[in-house]
Structure 1
């Protein structure tokens, strides 16, 4: 568990499936503005259990890390933050992605969660670089990353298919400060 001031993050567990389904369902319209088309079973408890089980298997293989974001005050799941497409060897890199309950946007919670996971990625996983892609119109997400220390690197044109449309993404990245010598 990674503890912050107002939240903590920990790997998602199968017992989180119902709460994660609630989070995803309540925020479906909001999240789908920025995400790829979901499989039919995504919005079912069984689909969430299956997905979390797959996440746990990938964590064991050091391929992906999917964390739930929980409120410190009442242990409610309010979002997720993930490290994925981890490449070891000479690159030591990963992508980061996240979702936060719309009701909690603009409060610094996601910045806190991203900082916790980046710190974990650099100091525990020994990654060198973490990259994110954000649709240029998603200004809130760009602010999160910049406040967490990420820097803009350029635009990846027509990079990710979101709701059936190839979307440009602003590429942002952060480097492990321990590697900058």
Structure 2
């Protein structure tokens, strides 16, 4: 089990035992998360749905396609968010996209910046990726600041590239390059 510690949080792969806590996080933050995410089926908000997702994460990890981590506080060992590398590309690209969600009550405390830094370090040091990309709706200033604090640079606007809540949304594209390449 990969566990990576930071100053105030740690990240690790999900276990099926985490399903109840993950479901509670999703239900508590449903309205908040859905403002920034693609459509979620009804089974997403069930315990069985979360267990299925966790099993899917493990399979994607084994196949080097996606790496999903839970974000846990060091002091209370509480799940406060998720951070993932997805669309992992090998060959001549050696890259991935990063995505994340944080409990709305935990925003502004530096947890997500710390989690992003931990995942990027994992991507560069263990997965040997060259480039990590992120797309953020331009009005989501907090998320853009998280990425900039974690060393990402702005690259431009991708016009109408992600469908969120039935609308094609523009995204500010940011990236970080492995400094060892």
Fold match by TM threshold 0.5:
yes
CA distance in 2, matches of 1:155, 1:14: 38
Which residue in the other structure is 1:173 paired with?
175
CA distance in 2, matches of 1:94, 1:107: 26
1:98 and 1:4 map into 2 onto residues whose CA distance is: 17
Q: How far off its partner does 1:148 sit?
A: 0.1
Secondary structure of the corresponding residue to residue 172 of structure 2: strand
Q: Of 21, 42, 48, which aligns to 2:23?
A: 21
Q: Distance in 1 between matches of 2:13 and 2:131?
A: 21
The one of 139, 145, 148 equivalent to 1:146 is 148
Q: Deviations over 1:85-106 (max 9, x none)?
A: 0000100000000000001000
User: Aligned pairs, how many?
Assistant: 179
TM-score (norm 2): 0.98
Runs of 4+ more than 4 Å apart:
none
Question: What is the aligned partner in structure 1 of residue 126 from structure 2?
Answer: 124
- Alignment-derived partner of residue 59 in structure 1: 61
Report the aligned-residue RMSD: 0.4
TM superposition score normalised by structure 1: 0.98
Aligned position for 1:110: 112
What is the aligned partner in structure 2 of residue 160 from structure 1? 162
User: How far is the alpha carbon of 1:78 from its aligned partner?
Assistant: 0.3
Report the Cα distance in structure 2 between the residues aligned to 1:46 and 1:65, rounded to whole angstroms. 21
In structure 2, the residue matched to 1:12 is: 14
Structure 2: gaps of 5 or more residues: none
Match of 1:97 in 2: 99
1:134 aligned to which of 136, 141, 154 = 136
- Take 1:66 and 1:14, find their aligned partners in 2: how far apart are those partners? 13
SS of the aligned residue for 1:9 comes to: strand
1:34 partnered with 2:36: yes
In structure 1, the residue matched to 2:79 is 77
How far residue 32 of structure 1 moved from its aligned partner, in angstroms, is 0.6
